Amino acid sequence: MDRLSLEAPTGEITVFVGPSGCGKTTSLRMINRMIDATEGRILLDGEPVQNIDPPTLRRGIGYVIQQAGLFPHRKILDNVATVPYLLGWDRGKARDRAMELLERVGLDPALAGRYPFQLSGGQQQRVGVARALAADPPVLLMDEPFSAVDPVVRTSLQDELLRLQAELNKTIVFVTHDIDEAIKLGDRVAVLRVGGKLAQLADPKTLLSEPADDFVREFLGRDRGIRRLQFVSTEGLRLRTDLPAPEGAGTYLHGKDSLRTALDAALLSPTGSAVAVDERGEVVGVATREALDEALAEAAHG
């Protein structure tokens, strides 16, 4: 690590992203002292972590790792209750809390009595998240938690995390090598380059529209223009209400879905226009190619 200085704001998801060898995992592990920094300071709520005894520090920080790392000899319920047990909670209370969390992360309570080997990779990862949340820590460290599961499961785990975060407002530091995951999950994204230098720290939209340098631009990939559209609202999209909704056209949720989704719907339509619907699925209008073109031009300049 080289003079890395950044702040992970309370209640937000800060993502460290970068190629392998950029020190993103090392940076994460310095926060809970799995690795001790040789120089410099890491402050947690204003207190230097170096002053806190590591096990005590770690019990107050949720930790989720790539392979879940569940204890194979313990049932799911007891895995989730690991930290409450360590903190000396009453067993009954710890188990009640664990049950509550299993449901919270979207797992069938019937899994509580199973052992980890009886669960799928995605289920194990959910248990890993539940375990990290068990003692209700304000801070959560997640080290490539979803990279070992298949893409479909990964997407559902990401959505689940965003849903949970909307309820819980934890301060999350999330490490990934996947820029799409970083952009999807991060309130702020720190792009690191090899050697542990911070290349750019920005919200995803700024990152896509104003990459700081060639390294970031290259890391974002070729289709960053398209991906930037996922941060552009469809609210301002001009709709025609005098046209009938074409048969078999793609739909998008007007005002909620991004311009990217609307464009995608249009591209999949035989007529080239997208049908705007509201939350009840009622058609509110048609976004023609001209309207989309205008919105694209505006997005490109704004």
Partner 1 sequence: MNWLIDFFGDPARWSGPDGIPARLLEHLEFSALALVLAMLIAVPLGLLIGHTGRGGVLVVVTANLARALPTLGLLVLFVLLLGTASIWPVIIPLVLLAVPPILVNTFEGIRGVDPDLRDAAYGMGLRGGQVLGRVLVPVALPLILLGLRLSAIQVVATTTVAAYTGLGGLGRFVIDGFATKDYASVVGGSVLIVLFALVVQIAFTFAQRVTVSPGVSQRLKIR
Contacting residues toward partner 1, per CB under 8 A: 32, 34, 54-60, 63, 65-75, 82-83, 86, 114-118, 131
- Could you give the C-alpha distances from 220 to 80, 180, 189, 209, in angstroms and in order? 36, 8, 12, 10
- Residue 219: closest CA among 207, 233, 229: 207
What is the closest distance, in whole angstroms, from the C-beta atom of residue 146 to partner 1 in the complex? 15
C-alpha span between 48 and 36 (Å, rounded): 12
C-alpha span between 295 and 302 (Å, rounded): 10
C-alpha span between 40 and 59 (Å, rounded): 23
Who contacts 222 (Cβ-Cβ below 8 Å, separation ≥6)? none
Q: Which is nearer to partner 1, 114 or 217 (CB)?
A: 114
Q: Which is nearer to partner 1, 32 or 176 (CB)?
A: 32
What is the closest distance, in whole angstroms, from the C-beta atom of residue 115 to partner 1 in the complex? 3
SS3 223: coil
What is the closest distance, in whole angstroms, from the C-beta atom of residue 88 to partner 1 in the complex? 12
Q: Which is nearer to partner 1, 116 or 285 (CB)?
A: 116
**What type of residue sits at position 2?**
D
What is the closest distance, in whole angstroms, from the C-beta atom of residue 118 to partner 1 in the complex? 5
Question: How many CB atoms sit inside 10 A of residue 174's CB?
Answer: 26
- Are the C-beta atoms of 189 and 204 separated by less than 8 Å? yes
What is the closest distance, in whole angstroms, from the C-beta atom of residue 36 to partner 1 in the complex? 13
Q: Which is nearer to partner 1, 58 or 170 (CB)?
A: 58
Q: Which is nearer to partner 1, 70 or 277 (CB)?
A: 70
What is the closest distance, in whole angstroms, from the C-beta atom of residue 234 to partner 1 in the complex? 42
Q: Which is nearer to partner 1, 32 or 230 (CB)?
A: 32
C-alpha span between 94 and 165 (Å, rounded): 22
Question: How many CB atoms sit inside 10 A of residue 46's CB?
Answer: 5
| Consecutive H or E run containing 81 | none
Q: Which is nearer to partner 1, 69 or 255 (CB)?
A: 69
SS3 212: coil
What is the closest distance, in whole angstroms, from the C-beta atom of residue 241 to partner 1 in the complex? 54
